[in-house]
Amino acid sequence: MCLGGFSPIFALENEEMFHVKQIDVLVIGGGHAGCEASLSSARMGLTTLMVTMDPSKTGEMSCNPSIGGVGKGQLAKEIDALGGEMGKNADITGIQFKRLNMRKGSAVQSSRCQSDKKKYAQRMQGIVGSQHGLEVLQGEVKRLQVEAGRITGVQVRTPDGTTHDIPAKTVVITSGTFMRGLMHTGFETTAGGRAGEAPSQGLSDQLRELNLPLLRLKTGTPPRLLRGSIDFTVMQEQFGDNPPRRFSFSDTKIELPQVACFLTYTSPDTHSVIRGSLDRSPLYSGKIQGVGPRYCPSIEDKVVKFPEKPRHQLFFEPEALDSDWIYPNGVSTSLPADVQEAFMKTIPGCESVKFARYGYAVEYDCVDPIQLKHSLESKLIEGLFLAGQVNGTSGYEEAGAQGLIAGINAALKVQRREPMILSRAEAYIGVMIDDLVTCGVTEPYRMFTSRAEFRLSLREDNADARLRPRGREIGLVNDEDFARFTEKARALETARVYLTKTWVKPTSQIQEKLATWATPPLATSQTYAQLLRRPELGLEQVSQLTSDPAIAALDPEMQETLEVEVKYEGYIGLQKEEIERVSRMGTVSFPESFEFSDVKGLSYEIREKLSRLRPKTLADASRLSGVTPAALSTLLFHLRQKGNPSANPTSPV
Amino acid sequence: MEKRNLDTSQTIFALVTGQLPCAVAIVRLSGSDAFKISSRLFQSQGIPFERNRGLWHGQLSSADGRIIDDIVTLGFVSPSSFTGEDVVELQCHGSPAVIRELERSLVGLGARPAERGEFSFRALLNGKLSTREIENLGDIFQARDPRDLDRIYDRKDAALFDQVESLKSRLIHLQAIFDTAVDFSEEYSTVIQAAKPVCDLVIQTGKEITHRYSTFTTGSRVPRLVLVGRPNAGKSSLFNALLCRYRAIVHENPGTTRDVIEEDVWLGDKLWKLVDTAGIRETLVETEKQGISLGEDYLVASSLWLLVVDGQTGMSEQEWSLLDRFHRIPHIVVWNKTDLPEWQAPPTLPNEETLVPASARTGTGVAALWEQIQKASDSVIGTDGPLPTATQNARLGSVLSELEILKAELEEGLPAEFLSERNRRLIDRLSTVMGEVSADDVLGRIFTDFCIGK
């Protein structure tokens, strides 16, 4: 259980213990997905083993030293609400916190923090190391053991060169970018999943043999620069919010000193250096074949694809409080080292910059997640779960969220309980997993708020209201946290009732106050809620009109929740109807014998697609691309004609 | 909507021809008792009248046995009839007294007056007509221009589908703008700026489609030739001169408003509506103050407009302004009053407009003007797009009105996540524009739009 240096953590010399104490959940990998998977399974009381090639890299931030962002902040908060570790770890090791999208009236706000990446990994290692029921083994998984379509364990090679068969009831693969990882800097290539670390060989070959569809993707990272060689005085200093807002719904504290980032821009010279060296770019010479993310382009991509843009924004972010390394956010590149040096020197403030490490691109094997169930268990191999970048996603939050769900579901499977599946109406996590398993991936998948059709309801501020009860149910939310949650929900409800049920009378005092906010006087009495719906007013003003403690009792975050929910009740209400409509569609199922090809009024393409994919319910059909509301109505009509009892007359479409 | 009795077990009847009195009036019965009921009121002189396909001549009597008319009766046996049921058509003389007596007798014998569109509804239920055919039928009744018949029978969903798809791809563009604004919040204001022009474009092109349908139903798709000009430029004389030559084929239009004078004119094989804005000249003078005046409304809706200029005084600022603002709509400048001594040669016009010197009073140049109008009309007719059906039009119309709300919210500065929400629903609804017409649609709307057999 203790984690110290490079020594084998798990008592391998006593091989018998595997037979005595069988592993319930074996997690391959110790990244963001691996940590959440291992912790959730162990916290649910299952015997858990994490197998990782280098335990000192557990919880490592391979790329940017930050957690959150638009869409990703929501994921981090949801992980926390369910009882995961990422939010707490981010709070405790964060050195700058900022909320994004703070425009007036915005309902889609996201949190982001800069992390001290050393402390982030150290703390995570500490948590993993001290977690009861979780053990860590250093080694490389060479083979999965599969019998009759079911996982039975893995074969591990430990650093001493010996191999060991470890039986396990379930296995979660969270191998990140390590499967056949190949790094590119210019035309130089190095096998590995991360700078200085060896790739995992063989595992992907075996997955291919097991008929799991593999893809080759690519991602990249910028160079790291030395702090002392940069002139920050010519850059724009950027501070975080004061006071900083936490990720976690638990009682964490932000205690590290808060620091600034620096904003600068590329110059026309930068662009001409890059343009002049494209023949040496592995990306543009065709050497890299993996598909990279469109939304996170390398600097050479930006220069080629947006030639009209005179400059691109760069944020210089500190990697850790006690580190000289600076992460230049915005210049991910796989150009050769000399080109990287040349173009960086054209950036204001970087004239004499020194490199700590060069940027690189990494190509890696991943498994097309279309072969997974919503529980993240493989459809082909029972007991095998996959989570994180190996499923074609990108980002720590995306990985962590899948790791959490895979760990929970592996544990639930061992406990012979139903898997936990979050719906699209419930969580960003639900949206992500549904996207992955129903559509597969063609490029690294990153969360955006626009992927969530119910984003007005899936907010950061209500992640706990949405998911705390789910976390509690599976045993990941402790008594203290759950009591805090129920108390908060009660206070919010009291304040909501107060606003919607209490009337403001048009007294001269009130009218005067309204006049100072440049909003029309009251014609008749109105509820506080009605007043709050005026675009020019916020809860901050409305609460000044009353001395009732209901609103004053709320902390600023809860006030925001209340304001958004009351102000935009109409929109949120519409979305609720939509959610109900979709959930009703989920209850309308197609009989086994249903012939999609017989449905008149559908195009040939749609009929063909439906016949091939055979959705179980109308809701499943609605998520297939090209299946329009009109097509759904037609399907429903057809079902009713066939006398399907689930297609009742209360039209779900 | 008023609750309607659509019980299909009953035999229904209705007068299916036009206003009484008239030469012949036809009362149609449909239903299982059609022959039984009519046999109580009709006796043929020669061939026995029984449930059979055929034509009989004989006497129509009232329920109490008095002979009231000498008629021809047509029998159709299920399923070979319009409704698919047994149908009997009684072809009477178009006398209000006869028809009244007949209707009373039919009710007495257990037949029920048909609801609006009920014959077509039964035809739909019995698989004799598809919803599309019924929609077409509704439009056929409304068609005024013979060319519209082709547009209705040759409705090409593919052509309209392309147009609706292009609207949809613009809404998807709009969605991308809203979502980018939210997901890349640091660029919010730059990104959101791009939304309004896209929104405007969708509304404008969408309206072109719905406009096509509304101009069709109001008959105003008949191209409009609008005369505009200052007072005393000679508009009314020209109007009369243009009509005079074709007096024999001019129809008086009962819908003439007191503001404008409109006349239907056949020009070759094309029907035109000639509009004299003489009655609104006062508002026309004030256009600049008023923004859009009634006169401009007519101008905007015109297919071709004639700017009538008094050749003695020439162009004033108002005429220049009209030419400037409405140069996109085909137009001809008439340099009037060539017969008067003070008439001056016209100036060079900015957009190489066709200019015809004429005298409305003497008729000089009017023939040349007709020729120019005819030439211009060829291009005007060619711009028509595919005609939507009533259902498609209604669906698109509701999408467009919600899009107006979206536009207002955009201008108000509502955050993009809310705009995105509305837009997403609009995209879904736009996808249903070309979708199947369900029986619910048919019941709910189509049958109230038109009336067959009643």
Q: What is the pLDDT of residue B439?
A: 55
**What percent of chain A shows pLDDT beyond 90?**
62
**Does residue A306 belong to the interface with chain B, where contact is any CB pair within 8 Å?**
no
Interface contact B431-A568, CB threshold 8 A: no
Interface contact B185-A455, CB threshold 8 A: no
Q: Which residue in A450, A571, A633 is closest to B435 by CB distance?
A: A633
Which residues in chain B are contacts of A634 at CB distance < 8 A?
Answer: 435-436
Find the range with the poorest average confidence among A420-429, A430-439, B104-113, B440-449: B440-449
Which residues in chain A are contacts of B414 at CB distance < 8 A?
Answer: 105
Between B261 and A509, the more confident residue is: A509
Whether the ω angle into residue B79 lies within 30 degrees of 0, i.e. cis, is: yes
As beta bridge partners, residue B87 has B30, B76
Q: How far is A70 from chain B (nearest CA, A)?
A: 6
A68: closest CA among A46, A93, A38, A42?
A93
Which residues in chain B are contacts of A631 at CB distance < 8 A?
Answer: 435
Interface contact B431-A630, CB threshold 8 A: yes
Interface contact A629-B432, CB threshold 8 A: yes
pLDDT at residue B19 is higher than 90: no
| pLDDT band at residue A6 under the 50/70/90 scheme | very low
User: Rounded distance, CA B181 to CA B174, Å?
Assistant: 11
Q: What is the pLDDT of residue A8?
A: 39
Size of interface A-B (CB pairs under 8 A): 73
> Across residues A604-615, what is the average pLDDT?
82
Provide the residue type at B312 as one letter: Q
Q: What is the pLDDT of residue A254?
A: 95
Q: What is the pLDDT of residue A553?
A: 86
**Does residue A628 belong to the interface with chain B, where contact is any CB pair within 8 Å?**
yes
| pLDDT per position as a tens digit, B126-177 | 888 877 788 888 788 777 777 778 778 777 677 888 888 889 889 988 998 9
**Does residue B435 belong to the interface with chain A, where contact is any CB pair within 8 Å?**
yes
| pLDDT per position as a tens digit, A629-650 | 667 777 877 787 666 656 554 4
pLDDT at residue A1 is higher than 50: no
Closest chain B residue to the Cα of A110, Cα to Cα: B183
Q: What is the pLDDT of residue B234?
A: 80
Interface contact B185-A535, CB threshold 8 A: no
pLDDT at residue B281 is higher than 50: no
Q: Which residue in B179, B185, B425 is closest to A100 by CB distance?
A: B185
**What percent of chain B shows pLDDT beyond 90?**
24
Interface contact A108-B424, CB threshold 8 A: no
Count of beta carbons in the 10 Å neighbourhood of residue B347: 10
| pLDDT band at residue A5 under the 50/70/90 scheme | very low
Contact A617, A585 (CB under 8 A): yes
Whether the ω angle into residue A243 lies within 30 degrees of 0, i.e. cis, is: yes
Interface contact A450-B188, CB threshold 8 A: no
Name the strand (E) or helix (H) holding A629: helix A629-641
Count of beta carbons in the 10 Å neighbourhood of residue B237: 19
Count of beta carbons in the 10 Å neighbourhood of residue B145: 15
pTM: 0.74
Which residues in chain A are contacts of B428 at CB distance < 8 A?
Answer: 628-629
pLDDT at residue A32 is higher than 50: yes
> Across residues B405-420, what is the average pLDDT?
90
Interface contact A70-B182, CB threshold 8 A: yes
pLDDT at residue B288 is higher than 50: no
| pLDDT band at residue B382 under the 50/70/90 scheme | very low
Q: What is the pLDDT of residue A630?
A: 67
Contact B104, B15 (CB under 8 A): no
Q: How far is A3 from chain B (nearest CA, A)?
A: 39
Q: Which residue in B182, B431, B436 is closest to A101 by CB distance?
A: B182
**Does residue B179 belong to the interface with chain A, where contact is any CB pair within 8 Å?**
yes
| pLDDT per position as a tens digit, A168-188 | 999 999 999 888 999 999 888
Closest chain A residue to the Cα of B422, Cα to Cα: A571
> Across residues A389-402, what is the average pLDDT?
96
| pLDDT band at residue A106 under the 50/70/90 scheme | confident
Best-predicted range by mean pLDDT (A60-69, A518-527, B44-53)? A60-69
| pLDDT per position as a tens digit, B386-402 | 788 877 888 898 999 99
Between A555 and A288, the more confident residue is: A555
Count of beta carbons in the 10 Å neighbourhood of residue A651: 13
Which residues in chain B are contacts of A458 at CB distance < 8 A?
Answer: none
Helices and strands, number each (H, E), in chain B:
18, 14
- Using DSSP, state whether A226 is helix, strand or coil: strand
From residue B372, give the alpha-carbon distance in Å to each of A395, B224, B332, B360, B378: 69, 15, 8, 16, 10
User: Rounded distance, CA A91 to CA A252, Å?
Assistant: 7
User: Rounded distance, CA A20 to CA A461, Å?
Assistant: 46
Name the A residues in 520-539 with CB < 8 Å from any B CB: 535
Q: What is the pLDDT of residue A245?
A: 92
Q: What is the pLDDT of residue B383?
A: 44
Residue A40, φ and ψ in degrees, nearest 5 = -65, -45
Contact B309, B356 (CB under 8 A): no
Interface contact B179-A450, CB threshold 8 A: yes
Q: What is the pLDDT of residue B248?
A: 31
Q: What is the pLDDT of residue B314?
A: 85
Q: How far is B30 from chain A (nearest CA, A)?
A: 27
> Across residues B110-128, what is the average pLDDT?
86
Cα angle A94-A97-A99, degrees, rounded to a multiple of 5: 145
| pLDDT per position as a tens digit, A437-496 | 988 888 899 998 888 888 888 999 999 999 999 999 999 999 999 999 999 999 999 999
Find the range with the poorest average confidence among A221-225, B48-52, B325-329: B325-329
Q: What is the pLDDT of residue B89?
A: 97
**Does residue B184 belong to the interface with chain A, where contact is any CB pair within 8 Å?**
yes
Best-predicted range by mean pLDDT (A432-441, A596-605, A608-617, B273-282)? A432-441
User: Rounded distance, CA A597 to CA A347, Å?
Assistant: 60
| pLDDT per position as a tens digit, A339-386 | 999 999 999 999 999 999 999 999 999 999 999 999 999 999 999 999
**Does residue A26 belong to the interface with chain B, where contact is any CB pair within 8 Å?**
no
Between B433 and A294, the more confident residue is: B433
As beta bridge partners, residue A590 has none
Q: How far is A456 from chain B (nearest CA, A)?
A: 7
Mutate to test the interface with B, among A261, A311, A560, A628 (most CBs of B within 10 A): A628
pLDDT at residue B269 is higher than 80: no
Q: Cβ-count burial of A160 within 10 angstroms (0-12 exposed, 13-18 middle, 19+ buried)? A: exposed
User: Rounded distance, CA B316 to CA B305, Å?
Assistant: 18
Name the strand (E) or helix (H) holding A215: strand A214-221
As beta bridge partners, residue B14 has B28
User: Chain-wide mean pLDDT for chain A?
Assistant: 89
